[in-house]
Amino acid sequence: MKSAVVLLPGLNRDRDMIAALTKISGHAPATVWETDTAIPDVDLIVIPGGFSYGDYLRCGAIAARMPVMRAVAEKAAAGAMVIGVCNGFQILVEAGLLPGALMRNSSLRFVCREVKLSVANANTAFTRSYRAGQVLRCPVAHHDGNYFADAETLGRIEGNGQVVFRYAEGTNPNGSVNDIAGIMNEKGNVLGMMPHPENLIEAAHGGTDGRGLFESALGLEAA
Amino acid sequence: MTIPNDVKITPELVASHGLKPDEYQRILDLIGREPSFTELGIFSAMWNEHCSYKSSKKWLRTLPTSGAVVIQGPGENAGVVDIGDGDCVVFKMESHNHPSYIEPYQGAATGVGGILRDVFTMGARPVAAMNALRFGEPGHPKTRHLVAGVVAGVGGYGNSFGVPTVGGEVNFDARYNGNCLVNAFAAGLAKTDGIFYSKAEGVGLPVVYLGAKTGRDGVGGATMASAEFDDKIEEKRPTVQVGDPFTEKCLLEACLELMASGAVIAIQDMGAAGLTCSAVEMGAKGDLGIEIDLDKVPVREERMSAYEMMLSESQERMLMVLRPEKEAEAAAIFRKWGLDFAIVGRTTDDLRFRILHQGEQVADLPIKDLGDKAPEYDRPWTEPVVRPALAADDIPQADVADALLKLLGSADLSSRRWVYEQYDTLIQGNSLQRPGGDAGVVRVDGHPAKALAFSSDVTPRYCEADPYEGGKQAVAECWRNLTATGALPLAATDNLNFGNPERPEIMGQFVAAIKGIGEACRALDFPIVSGNVSLYNETNGRGILPTPTIGGVGLLADWNRMARIGFAAGDEAILLVGAPKNWGSHLGQSVYLRDLFGRADGPPPPVDLAHERKVGDFVRGLIRDGVATAVHDLSDGGLAVALAEMAMASGIGATVNQLNGLSPVPLFFGEDQGRYLVTIARDRVESFHAGRIGDSGIFAPWIGTTGGTALKLGEARAVPVSELRRAHEGWFPAFMAGEPAPELAPAA
């Protein structure tokens, strides 16, 4: 399967994401720039983390209005898989591709540490390499990861199985409602998550728990 | 507000620019007339302590700055060191002390931004950052505010820019009540054939302004940082710049793209004294004149005067000399990244520094003299008074377990997790060791096995008691921390923070510390390749503790053979490598005396540099050969604290012997130098002592064994590792929440 990484000024985990996709799939992903209005023919589009446009407005708000995001939305509507990690998640929410909002961490501070994630739904295109309820290690690094949705929306996404990852074992680092760490859209082809699986994919990272996400999305056999 | 260029130059105006009467006379003699207002500003920017090093230059020249792997020593934006395979590491440490005290968030943020810019100006992509922070006593009313602001500022800039913060220091002492220290370190990777310098070449070539627009922020910042503080400090807030890490990140990418295009002849970032310093530097180094037309400079405020534009310290700006035929290509790269790109001047052959503004020539100065003819002082200094040794019967006693818990839960030795969790420590995906160990370690991107180790060190209380030994110790401890990961120390950067050099006793501290640093660097083959001096860290006549921070870089040939501090397994032998016969006994200037008994007595532990080197080389060999399973150096708090740190990092306890007939306090809390804790498999101990140690002259007694879930030191009660952790982790969050430190569990 082919993949592409969206590049925007101020994103800074693009190199991490490109390295992860390259190491796991054996192929370097294509890249698309903020002003690109078309995305090459790929099965998976990834929006990496960072601080797009400095996030001087609401996180992801400026990025969500760039031309390339219209192209991402079109691809998603046509069924391509989309993953947004950290700032990428914030951008997908701001672009209306995922429900809810990401608020400032309840501590009001940036937090970088390892947390535990439980796989809330293993029956998705992004998590089929994992078991339901499996607990993963995964790092987080963000200032605005406090997921929120109104009661009606929350009830709907919980009922539909759209919650894909939850912070587990008391490690919720940001105050997210229902310990939500990652969600997908109703159709199940767009995933947003705050933690960084791309930073836990090889021995040098001290673990490989993040690989399963990319292996699932790229249609590779679980290692 | 527009300040005309023909303001009358009065003695008061000269003094308010930080220029002494004899320095002003020197200006008159050099140019043969009264300077214009803009010219006075340019002189004050070039001749202040921060930019000219006028008090320190004489002594800085005594430091060793060359070596087999040194590609570029001091004098450029950063030092450059060869790491083989066509790669090099580019690094420097720089202070942002004065601005951080006035406005902690922006002061610290722009300190990080400035040092990152120094590194990528040379063509290197930043791969690691560290920060050495020093604050006043915890109870001082400003301390919490400064800690919160500085840490958020460091994180806010570095996290957004996208560089992992892999190490640093945070300490508290009443002597920093009026002047906090923010020393920012950055390192980047470049190709040895892709280094860029500031020396301009070629006459009539375009001088290009890149990056952010110029505003009024930071006007006079470098001059502010060259004076002491007094009660009117709040008035200095406008001299602090405002950081924009997003623009800096774009500037990094644009500069690296532009450098790869072959368009760049010379490049210099605009740091202290902004456009003035960068233009003079480029011209003077290349024996060229520079002419700048300020009407072409991109500005973000209206009606800025020539004086303000020349002295603005607006951030995220660069000056470059460009190959004219590449101009269109270069402009396109900068447009892509949304940055300003303007040809603001040209190089000339007349060695003049000429500034035009609104059709008028506002400055015309001899460019070489601005730097070369800056005053240089051989300031009077007095030999520091070294303190007498502690009497053997003058050692206050305490229960070893209680004392250990108190130290682990103290302001200086407690966990820095509250701080480093606000820094992105793993971005770029190459962090092998994050804060909390002896040194940060980062893989060399694109190489299968190599990694770089980074550590920042100084023990200010040692430097206060004996600046010479303290200077040696700062270098030795940095070298030791790098060694403890298995890295070969390559070179260092120094960030020398002192009080007012016009006082002979402060100048004496400076001179002695430099002598100590120089001697240690020579003995350990650890040259100083870049650095920064910050003087006048003084408020109302009271100076800081002398704080010569050393930032070191080491190279691991293969990170699969790398040591960490946590015990690797139970039932392993613990060796105290490099110990004296009594394992250790030096309590002068120890944290044991200072933090438990309020005493700053005695001399600091001396550093035997030959011993240091021999033991370090030996330990590195143990790591390289896979014999050592865990390694930790001994420093503040001695043997007891080092053992506790190894236990806390792993959750594995240990039982440690005590030498018969010796008092346990000096043994467990002495801070003798040149020692490491090394664990090895138990069945290797005999062959180790018979074989490896051989006749090396190194003493490495087997002092204990790992295992269990508690740490038992000699006769003292066993302390569960969970209790050690509770003490260690509790202090910082409680302090920042304004709560009393958590109660320690009562003695069992």
Residues B245-303 have pLDDT tens digits of: 999 999 999 999 999 999 999 999 998 788 999 999 999 999 999 999 999 999 999 88
Query: Is residue B121 a contact partner of residue B158, using CB atoms and an 8 Å limit?
Result: no
Tokens of B155: 């994180």
Q: Please tell me the distance from the alpha carbon of residue B292 to that of residue B353, in angstroms, as a whole number.
A: 8
Query: Is residue A13 a contact partner of residue A85, using CB atoms and an 8 Å limit?
Result: yes
Q: Do B250 and A9 lie within an 8 Å CB cutoff? A: yes
Query: Is residue B186 a contact partner of residue B454, using CB atoms and an 8 Å limit?
Result: no
B354-363 mean pLDDT: 94
Any residues with CB less than 8 A from the CB of A57 and at least 6 apart, and which? none
Confidence of residue B158 (pLDDT cuts 50, 70, 90): very high
Confidence of residue B574 (pLDDT cuts 50, 70, 90): very high
Q: Please tell me the distance from the alpha carbon of residue A128 to that of residue A164, in angstroms, as a whole number.
A: 11
Q: Is the pLDDT of residue B236 over 70?
A: no
Q: Any CB–CB contact under 8 A between B159 and chain A?
A: yes
Q: Is the pLDDT of residue B747 over 50?
A: no
Tokens of B252: 């990094």
pLDDT in tens, B465-494: 999 999 999 999 999 999 999 999 999 999
Q: Is the pLDDT of residue B384 over 50?
A: yes
**Residue A70: helix, strand or coil by DSSP?**
helix
pLDDT at B735: 97
Q: How many Cβ atoms from other residues are within 10 Å of residue B506's Cβ?
A: 24
**Residue B392: helix, strand or coil by DSSP?**
coil
Q: Please tell me the distance from the alpha carbon of residue B71 to that of residue B89, in angstroms, as a whole number.
A: 10
Residue B734 phi/psi, 5-degree rounding, is -65, -45
Beta bridge partners of B712: B655
Q: Please tell me the distance from the alpha carbon of residue B355 to that of residue B365, in angstroms, as a whole number.
A: 9
Query: Is residue A111 a contact partner of residue A142, using CB atoms and an 8 Å limit?
Result: yes
Q: Is the pLDDT of residue B707 over 90?
A: yes
Residue B183 phi/psi, 5-degree rounding, is -110, 115
B51 closest CA partner among B505, B428, B370: B370
Query: Is residue B121 a contact partner of residue B115, using CB atoms and an 8 Å limit?
Result: no
Is 0.80 topped by the overall pTM?
A: yes
Average pLDDT, chain B: 94
Q: Please tell me the distance from the alpha carbon of residue B319 to that of residue B280, in angstroms, as a whole number.
A: 11
Task: Residue count of chain B, please give it.
Answer: 748
Tokens of B427: 């971005």
Least Cα separation, residue A213 to chain B (angstroms): 17
Query: Is residue B239 a contact partner of residue B218, using CB atoms and an 8 Å limit?
Result: yes
Q: Please tell me the distance from the alpha carbon of residue B511 to that of residue B468, in angstroms, as a whole number.
A: 8
Interface of B with A in 407-466 (CB under 8 A): 420-430, 432, 443
A158 as an active site residue: the answer is no
Tokens of B497: 């923070």
Q: How many Cβ atoms from other residues are within 10 Å of residue B32's Cβ?
A: 6
- DSSP state letters, B66-97: --TTEEE-BTBSSEEEEEETTEEEEEEEEE-H
What is the residue whose two structure tokens read 């809810």? A100
Give CA separation, B390 vs B393, B549, B600, in Å: 8, 27, 11
B145 as an active site residue: the answer is no
Q: Do B429 and A12 lie within an 8 Å CB cutoff? A: no
- DSSP state letters, B667-710: HHH---SS-EEEEEEGGGHHHIIIIISTTS-----EEEEE-SSE
* Chain B residues touching A53 at Cβ < 8 A: 246
Q: Is the pLDDT of residue B316 over 70?
A: yes
pLDDT at B233: 61
* Chain A residues touching B245 at Cβ < 8 A: 51, 54
Write b or e for each residue in B295-304: b if 16 or more Cβ atoms lie within 10 A of its Cβ, otherwise e: eebbbeeeeb
- For chain B, the straight-line distance linking the first and the last C-alpha, in angstroms and rounded, comes to 70
Confidence of residue B240 (pLDDT cuts 50, 70, 90): confident
Q: Any CB–CB contact under 8 A between B558 and chain A?
A: no
B710-721 mean pLDDT: 97
A52 closest CA partner among A43, A42, A44, A62: A62
Between residues B692 and B247, the one the model is more confident about: B247
Query: Is residue B418 a contact partner of residue B511, using CB atoms and an 8 Å limit?
Result: no
**C-alpha angle B532-B536-B539 in degrees, rounded to nearest 5:** 140
Confidence of residue B237 (pLDDT cuts 50, 70, 90): low
pLDDT at B222: 63
Q: What is the ipTM of this complex?
A: 0.96
**Residue B147: helix, strand or coil by DSSP?**
helix
pLDDT at B2: 54
Q: Do B421 and A113 lie within an 8 Å CB cutoff? A: yes
Annotated catalytic residue, options A59, A94, A142, A198: A198
Tokens of A20: 């992860």
Between residues B51 and A11, the one the model is more confident about: A11
Q: Please tell me the distance from the alpha carbon of residue A184 to that of residue A181, in angstroms, as a whole number.
A: 11
pLDDT in tens, B635-648: 999 999 999 999 99
Per residue of chain A (223 residues), give pLDDT as tens: 899 999 999 999 999 999 999 999 999 999 999 999 999 999 999 999 999 999 999 999 999 999 999 999 999 999 999 999 999 999 999 999 999 999 999 999 999 999 999 999 999 999 999 999 999 999 999 999 999 999 999 999 999 999 999 999 999 999 999 999 999 999 999 999 999 999 999 999 999 999 999 999 999 865 4
Taking the alpha carbons of A124, A130, A131, A136 in that order, is the dihedral positive or negative?
negative
Q: Which of B159, B415, B432, B434 to mutate to test the interface with A (most CBs of A within 10 A)?
A: B159
Task: Residue count of chain A, please give it.
Answer: 223
pLDDT at B232: 67
Edge-first strand listing for the sheet containing B488-497: B431-433, B440-443, B451-457, B547-556, B488-497, B528-534
* CA trace torsion B732, B737, B743, B744 (10° rounding): -20
Q: Do A112 and B161 lie within an 8 Å CB cutoff? A: no
Q: Is the pLDDT of residue B234 over 90?
A: no
Residue B626 per-residue DSSP state: T
Taking the alpha carbons of A126, A132, A137, A141 in that order, is the dihedral positive or negative?
positive
pLDDT at B743: 62
B536-544 mean pLDDT: 92
Nearest CA in chain B to A35: B336
pLDDT in tens, B406-416: 999 999 999 99
Q: Please tell me the distance from the alpha carbon of residue B21 to that of residue B36, in angstroms, as a whole number.
A: 17
pLDDT at B1: 43
Nearest CA in chain A to B148: A109
How far does CA B641 lie from the centroid of its chain?
25
Q: Please tell me the distance from the alpha carbon of residue B467 to that of residue B557, in angstroms, as a whole number.
A: 35
Tokens of A79: 């069924």
B608 closest CA partner among B472, B489, B460: B472
Tokens of B103: 């406005």
Query: Is residue B240 a contact partner of residue B221, using CB atoms and an 8 Å limit?
Result: yes
Annotated catalytic residue, options A59, A138, A142, A196: A196
